[in-house]
Amino acid sequence: MVNRGIRGATTVTRNDGEEILRETVLLLREMVERNDLVAEDICSVWITMTTDLDAAFPAKAIREIEGWELVPLMCAIEIPVKGSLPKCIRLMVQVNTEKSQKEIRHVYLNEAQRLRPDLTESK
């Protein structure tokens, strides 16, 4: 097995705690589904949010998912580059896997699809 990073990002419409938590879970679940992940194979999850979001810790939502209670989680603020995508939540999931880089499916939802249109899959 090797350690791989799986990227994911989504956006919310406003700085609302419930929406931040809901969209974080939707993003993570989509990453899990597209990559056939199980929590036991996750090394850690790095979470960033843009500075315009401060109504909730997205890690809280992940900790409440059954089986994810012991996965190490870390939240941080995304670098505030002028003109960058607002109201954005990003995940970097570190996973032990047999998959190659080409087999990894990164996930970009909502307005975050603009960040990496080359990696965006339509469902």
Residue 105 assigned as binding residue = no
Question: 90 catalytic, yes or no?
Answer: yes
Question: 40 catalytic, yes or no?
Answer: no
What pLDDT score was predicted for residue 122? Answer: 53
pTM above threshold 0.75: yes
What pLDDT score was predicted for residue 40? Answer: 94
Beta partners for residue 3, in sequence order: 96
What pLDDT score was predicted for residue 121? Answer: 67
Question: 34 catalytic, yes or no?
Answer: no
Q: Among the options 4, 30, 78, 88, which is catalytic?
A: 78
**6-25 per-position pLDDT tens digit:** 999 999 999 999 999 999 99
CB 102, CB 66: distance < 8 Å:
no
Residue 22 assigned as binding residue = no
Rounded to 5°, angle at Cα 47 from 44 and 49 = 175
Architecture of domain 2-114: 2-Layer Sandwich (3.30)
Q: Among the options 7, 22, 34, 105, which is catalytic?
A: 7
